[in-house]
Amino acid sequence: MASQTASHVMVALCLLGLAARHAAEATQLVPAVFVFGDSTVDVGNNNYLNSTKPARANYPKYGVDFSGSTPTGRFSNGYNLADQLAQLLGFPKSPPAYLSLTAKTIVPQMYQGINFASGGSGLSDKTGLLGAGEVIPMSLQVQYFSQVVELMQTLSGSRRTASLLSESIFFISTGSNDIFEYFLSGGNGDDGEFLLGFTAAFRSYVRALYRLGARKFSIVSITPLGCTPSQRARRLSQGGTRGGCFGPINTLSLRSYPMLAASLRDLADELPGMAYSLSDSFTMVSFIIANPRTNAWSFTELESGCCGSGPFGALGCDETAPLCDNRDGHLFWDANHPTQAASAIAAQTLFAGNRTFVSPINVRELAQL
């Protein structure tokens, strides 16, 4: 259990985040937000792909708490992490999905930002193909962004484009699916070797975005993946015991953070003008699990998904799945994704958190550079 002092720190942080949300609503802190990653931040790109149903979220009961109870492709009951961080930066929600834009609408939108994220995708081009069908891997997301940069340069010139991109936030949340699939394949091979490749891939994409003009990066590290409903159910099926998270995948999740942190420090030393904010997501989620009820939040269910059947609600969220009554009391929405309430805490921590949870600076400080 975390100390009472730490609990007070987090409560103060979240209250600060709520105040920051109101302040940000009045002022757009950066010219644009560009989003890259997986289902944690996808706002509908997979709606336009030949993806399997588990890799899409454009049907009920997804979006039950979104405006009009409309499923949009967000893997959430409402707003996801990209939406809520964008709101703290002064935008109404996440920029729209890249594949939703037409030749006409992309021109005004690209100056405000675009979301390239794709549910089921990862750092590897192979990630997601087996279970999700068609996805947009990070390599293609960066390629799409390069085409946007080229269009901006054609219409506005290289100098204006470089200026806008250097002041914008580049938000990246990816890598979880690479780890999930590594374990689904049996975790064959050396974990250290896998993590070296994982970190090298992350570094290569940050460097590629930098070459295209990105300077300010907000990066989400890996959460305790073994505590998701899907992995709790996996532990139950393999070991026959219900309590606890799935240890091996949590160990790998935990080991990824210091390697990613060191890699980003090296990049910041190497690349002039690069600045970044990295969340310690393992510590953030572990803190909430250890402190489910504070003055700032109250989670009554930490293990099971709100939408889904079977052990831990891990068997599919769709039109026929049972739905919990108190969605704000659940940490998880479905087998793998947080509720809107949990994403709100994460966004506030990314935006205004102290060095326990985000370093070397938070996103608000990053925006002010």
Mapped onto helix, strand or coil, the DSSP state of residue 145 is helix
Q: Are 75 and 334 in contact (CB under 8 A)?
A: yes
End-to-end C-alpha distance for the chain, whole angstroms: 36
What range defines the domain where residue 196 resides?
4-368
What are the pLDDT digits (tens) for 64-109? 999 999 999 999 999 999 999 999 999 999 999 999 999 999 999 9
Over the stretch 314-350, which tens digit does the pLDDT of each residue have? 999 999 999 999 999 999 999 999 999 999 999 999 9
Per-residue pLDDT at 25 = 47
The string of pLDDT tens digits covering residues 274-290 is 999 999 999 999 999 99
DSSP3 helix / strand / coil % (the chain, rounded to 5):
50, 10, 40
pLDDT at 136 over 90: yes
By CB neighbour count within 10 A (0-12 exposed, 13-18 middle, 19+ buried), where does 1 fall? exposed
- Give the Cα separation of 45 and 62 in Å (integer): 15
Average pLDDT for 105-121: 98
Residue 50's alpha-carbon distances to 57, 82, 115, 319, in angstroms, are 13, 23, 19, 20
Residue 171 and residue 180: Cα distance in Å, rounded? 21
pTM (global) more than 0.75: yes
Burial 81-117 (b: 16+ CB within 10 A, else e): bbbbbbbbbbbebbbbbbbbbeeeebeebbbbbbbbb
**What confidence category does residue 298 fall into, taking pLDDT thresholds of 50, 70 and 90?**
very high
Give the chain's domain count. 1
- Reported residue count of the chain is 369
Express as a percent the part of the chain with pLDDT over 70.
Answer: 91
What does DSSP assign to residue 319?
T
Average pLDDT, the chain: 92
Q: Which helix (H) or strand (E) holds 277?
A: strand 275-279
pLDDT of residue 153: 98
Banded model confidence at residue 26, pLDDT cuts 50, 70, 90:
low
Task: For residues 140 and 131, give the distance between their C-alpha atoms in angstroms, rounded to a whole number.
Answer: 18
Asked if residue 272 has a cis previous peptide bond (ω within 30° of 0), the answer is no
Bond prior to 93 in cis (omega within 30° of 0) = no
Q: What is the mean pLDDT of residues 229-236?
A: 93
* CA distance linking residue 177 with residue 157, whole number of Å: 37
User: Is residue 330 classed as helix, strand or coil in its secondary structure?
Assistant: strand
State the CATH number of the domain containing residue 59.
3.40.50.1110
What pLDDT score does 11 carry? 43
Q: Where in the sequence numbering do the catalytic residues fall?
A: 39, 334, 337
